[in-house]
Chains A and B, each alone.
Chain A
Amino acid sequence: MERRDFIRKTAAATLVAGTTLKFGNLSSLWALESNSSDSRPYDLVAVRNGEPEPMFDSAIESLGGMGRYVKPGQSVVVKPNIGWDVTPEKAANTHPGLVKRIVEHCFEAGAKDVFVFDHTCDLWTACYTNSGIEDAVKSAGGTMMPGNVERMYHEVQIPGAVRLKKAKVHELILNSDVFINVPVLKHHASARVTIAMKNLMGIVYDRRFWHRNDLHQCIADFCLFSKPTLNVVDAYRVMTRNGPRGVSEADVVLTRNLLVSEDIVAVDAAATRVFGSEPDTIPHIVTGHDMGIGNMNLRELSIKRISL
């Protein structure tokens, strides 16, 4: 959270992004930013038939534990989807129990601070409270931070982007050592589905620009800048229609799935299947794949499947 940290981080990010652009090989250079330099056991872990908390426990265990991603003394930012002022049953926001368990794992791995925020659509204080996430995070010892305050956002350049060449990004993302992206899988009126890639819209300030400038391209472009350490997709309850806000609880089905991956495109592709659609019908997933951000071809991935 210190200014020095911020400048250093921003400079590093720009440098890496810049070199990436220069040398073209996106994925290998981006991997330098990741904490895990040793090869990962699986590209993707999928868990089903459990409650959110035990599903995450087994997923993270199969990836070698949270210690692979969070080193002692590091600061962590967890970014769930808290966009709407609705109760957990409506599944418009990430499951509070899952967020809580992730925060607990971070502290067990030795994290210094765990911050949680989202740039909400509805009134942020109401979203934080009524989603149940504020209570969940606080009870795990984490810190809820506001995501709707413009002065906490700082402009970054996004080299290689087609439409979204710059954006104002929340300082928690810029300053934290580890970034865990925890979207909820749901239907989305404009993006078709909203999962991990789309969830990153909640760490920028001006979202209208995205809507004005080819939403799908902007979603993919932003993934060039922001690469979460880990993506955890909550597909425990899935809103299958009327998304992303939902009208009633009848929009929600209980599917009890959880997907975890470092590859944001891969996890979106897999989650799209859980949703009941084909990844190649979702423009931002296809664009992200084509830009080399990740791999949407599930057959080419090593997937760990766990049924509880």
Chain B
Amino acid sequence: MVRQHSLRKLRILVSVVFLLSLSLVFLDVKEFFPVWFREFFLFLQFAPSILNFATIVTWTALGFLIVILLTLLFGRVYCSFFCPLGVLQDVITRFANFFRKKKRRFRFLKARNILRYSILFVVTVAAFSGFIIILGWLDPFSIFGRFMTHIVRPAYIHTNNWVSSLLYGWNIYSLHPLEFRAYSWASFGAVAALMTLVVWMAAAYGRQYCNTVCPVGSLLGFLSKYSLYKIRLDHERCNSCALCQHACKAGCINSKEKTVDMSRCVACYNCLTVCKSNGVLYQPATGKARALESDPSRRNFIAGSASLLLAASGFSKALAQPQAQNPTLIPEQKEFPVSPPGSKSIEHFTSKCIACHLCVSVCPKQVLQPSLFEYGLKGFLQPRMDYHTSYCNFDCTLCGEVCPTGAILPLNREQKHVEQIGKVVFIRRNCIVRTDLTDCGACSEHCPTKAVEMVPWRRVLLIPRVHPEICIGCGACEFACPTEPYKAIYVDGNKVHQIADRPVIEEQQSPVDDDFPF
């Protein structure tokens, strides 16, 4: 039994390491941690890994398979060891106990199979028909990501800036303030709503989010029924004292009946530790024990998904296209939003992104901001390039490097320099040079390829001329344009990303003057 006791310690150790490390991945605003650190801890994240594998099909995206194998061997270890939201719930449950006079006792809960498998159905069907975002809203990694990005990170930045100003006051200049460009209230709302649900469920019932809502929990739970190692109560030794039941945050142990619902067990191993009569066993299931399992919901599960899949695929086509805006009402006529460089096309991006907002978190220019309905309903909260907030750094390739789902594929610097995610459009009648008859040129200043060039106009002035073929759509011109309320220059997204022409580079001779020109 000593070995069984140490399982809980192992679980606590691994889970704390994962929770802290994934938090640091989201908070790494200074790119302090090496690439392998980020990649290692993202590797085992279930939903991102599946999506990534579906896109790039390499062994670096096989984390989900390892999770499935682990589940088939040991049960839902993902939920207690690696899932950041799961571990966060454990922390919340523990924290909530501090405020209770009487230490909380969990009790056996009825399985909500119809609800949880229905959610899994809808999520799966929606994902196959392009509505990946429903998975994104419910997926634990994504919820954790948005929680880090929109609640923890702002708090971290403000604390940093407060400490920094304190140190500045003492003439210590080692800690500089961090920029904070825009706050996404929509994301905050979405995070706050789901986190309230998760926290309330965690504080009141333990792992109930995982066992009623979480689609990853439901899928792994389904597999967990067939796992090799199972928790079970020894009918001889168990005296139905209910210690294990009270310690079970998943509410899956019925000590009176001496049964354990493995589909809801999150493999926390608390029951093994509390049992005083060695009545809780964690061992390979016998053939008999396996046969005893029956699952009325499984048939519904499979039958339902087929029909829903058909219905949803037709339904999704109608809503999937981002709608063009009314051309007569809005001066900046953006036909398409701009998806991040490396995302190949709006279609690819919106069907792969689960809105975990890791790219939003790490984007050094903070140009990546959660969308509202720019991508249509199916892209709610998926990040877009927001050129009124910032613009894309020419040399930066970070979003593609961090994206765990393959929605944004990595680009090297050379590729990034010609990856055309949108094209420049100039509205001359909005331009300061024309309206005020003064020089401006902020757009051309910022342009890294000189797709916006200043040409002589009305004898003494210079006015922009655009060359969309060498524009990469970084949005620097749109960001810099000072006109209000509408910009005189903007980037219209490319529905499918293109390769831009390279700017023509003409060599020039160094001057051979031998004297001062004055």
Q: Using a CB–CB distance below 8 Å, which chain A residues touch chain B?
A: 1, 46, 48, 85, 121-123, 125-126, 143, 145-146, 148-149, 151, 188-191, 207-209, 211-217, 240-245, 247-248, 250-251, 253-255, 270, 273-274, 276, 283, 298, 303, 305
Binary contact track B366-383/A, C-beta < 8 Å → 1, others 0:
000000000000000000
Select which of B165, B179, B365, B441 is within 8 A of A190 by beta carbon. Answer: B441
Contact in complex: A298, B518 (CB < 8 Å): yes
Nearest CB to that of A47 among chain B residues? B516
Contact at A211–B432, with CB atoms within 8 Å?
yes
Supply 28 A–B pairs (Cβ within 8 Å), ascending by A: A122-B393, A123-B365, A125-B30, A126-B364, A148-B179, A151-B177, A188-B441, A189-B454, A190-B442, A190-B444, A211-B442, A211-B482, A212-B432, A212-B484, A214-B438, A215-B439, A215-B441, A217-B438, A241-B508, A245-B446, A245-B447, A247-B449, A247-B450, A247-B503, A253-B510, A255-B511, A273-B517, A273-B518
Does B445 lie within 8 Å of A190, measured CB to CB?
Answer: yes
- Residue B507 is within 8 A (CB to CB) of chain A in the complex: yes
User: Is there contact, CB below 8 Å, between A1 and B462?
Assistant: no
Task: Answer yes or no: B394 CB below 8 A from chain A CBs.
Answer: yes
CA A243 to CA B510, docked complex, whole Å: 17
A211 touches B440 (CB 8 A): yes
With beta carbons under 8 angstroms apart, the residue of A145, A208, A241, A276 that contacts B442 is: A208
A221–B510 alpha-carbon span in the complex (Å): 35
B395 contacts partner chain A, Cβ-Cβ < 8 Å? yes
User: Are B395 and A85 interface neighbours, CB within 8 A?
Assistant: yes
- The CA of A250 and the CA of B503, in the complex, are separated in Å by 12
Give the shortest distance, in Å, between A282 (CB) and chain B (any CB): 11
Residues in B whose Cβ lies below 8 Å from that of A145: 173, 176
Asked if A305 contacts B510 (CB within 8 A), the reply is no
- Chain B interface size, as a band, is 35 or more
Q: What 0/1 pattern do residues 150 to 186 of B give for CB contact below 8 A with A?
A: 0000000000000001001001010011010000000
Residue numbers in B under 8 Å from A240 (CB-CB): 508
Contact yes or no, B165 A250, CB < 8 A: no
User: When chains A and B are docked, how far (Å) is the Cα of A190 from the Cα of B477?
Assistant: 13
Q: CB < 8 Å: which of B165, B439, B505, B508 contacts A151?
A: B165
Asked if B483 is at the interface (CB within 8 A of a chain A CB), the reply is yes
CA distance A189 to B453 in the complex (A): 7
A143 to B173, CA, bound (A): 8
Q: Which residue from B436, B511, B518 sits with its C-beta under 8 Å from A253? A: B511
Asked if A85 contacts B440 (CB within 8 A), the reply is no
User: A248 near B505 (CB under 8 angstroms)?
Assistant: yes
Give chain B interface residues in 247-269, CB to chain A under 8 Å. none
Of A46, A208, A303, most buried by chain B (CB within 10 Å of CB) is A208
- Type the 1/0 row for B493-510, where 1 means its CB is closer than 8 Å to any CB of A: 000000000010111111
What are the residues of chain B within 8 A of A121 when measuring CB–CB?
445-446, 480
Q: Do A190 and B518 touch across chains, with their CB atoms under 8 A apart?
A: no
Q: Which 7 A-B pairs have the closest CB atoms?
A: A190-B441, A189-B444, A208-B482, A273-B517, A214-B438, A211-B482, A189-B441
By the criterion CB–CB under 8 Å, are B454 and A46 in contact? no
**Is residue B410 contacting chain A, with contact meaning CB distance below 8 A?**
no
How far apart sit A175 and B510, CA to CA, in the bound complex (Å)?
41
Please classify the interface of chain B as helix (H, G, I), strand (E, B), loop, or mixed, using the class held by over half of its residues. loop
Residues of chain B with a CB closer than 8 A to A149's CB:
176-177, 179
Q: Which A residues lie within 8 Å of B165 (CB)?
A: 151
Q: Which residues on the A side are within 8 Å of B483 (C-beta)?
A: 212
In contact, A190 and B440 (Cβ under 8 angstroms): yes
User: CB < 8 Å: which of A216, A247, A298 contacts B439?
Assistant: A216
CA distance A270 to B517 in the complex (A): 8
Residues A85 and B177 in contact, CB atoms below 8 Å apart: no
Distance (Å) between the CB of B55 and the closest chain A CB? 29
Q: Is the CB of B511 within 8 A of A191?
A: no
Residues on the B chain within 8 Å of A188, using CB:
441, 445
- Select one of A151, A208, A242, A255 contacting B450, CB under 8 A: A242
Decide: A274 and B517 in contact? CB cutoff 8 A.
Answer: yes
The complex places the Cα of A188 from the Cα of B440 at a distance, in Å, of: 11
The answer to whether B436 touches A214, judged by C-beta atoms less than 8 angstroms apart, is yes
Contact B364 A216 (CB under 8 A): no
Q: State the CA gap A248–B508 with chains docked (Å).
A: 12
Chain A positions within 8 Å of B30 at CB level: 125
Chain B hits for A276, CB < 8 A: 511, 517
Q: Give min CB distance, B5 to chain A, whole Å.
A: 48
Q: Which of B332-391 contact A (CB under 8 A)?
A: 364-365
| Contact between chains at B439 and A190 (CB < 8 Å) | yes
Q: If A85-B394, A214-B436 touch, does A250 touch B518 (CB 8 Å cutoff)?
A: no
Would A125 and B364 count as touching, CB distance under 8 A?
Answer: yes
**From B440, B448, B509, B516, contact of A247 by CB (8 A):** B448
With a cutoff of 8 Å between Cβ atoms, the chain A residues found around residue B179 in the complex are: 148-149
Partner of A250, one of B394, B396, B432, B508: B508
Q: Return the chain B residue nearest A237 by Cβ.
A: B510
Which listed residue, B364, B440, B442, B506, touches A123 by the CB 8 Å rule?
B364
Contact A85 B393 (CB under 8 A): yes
Q: In the complex, which of the residues A190, A211, A212, A213 contacts B462, with contact meaning CB atoms closer than 8 Å?
A: A190
Give the distance in Å from the alpha carbon of A212 to the alpha carbon of B229 in the complex: 70
- Find B508's partner among A209, A253, A283 (CB 8 Å cutoff): A253
Question: In angstroms, how far is the closest chain B Cβ from the Cβ of A77?
Answer: 13
Knowing A123-B364, A189-B454, A189-B462 are in contact, say whether A48-B516 is a contact too (CB < 8 A): yes
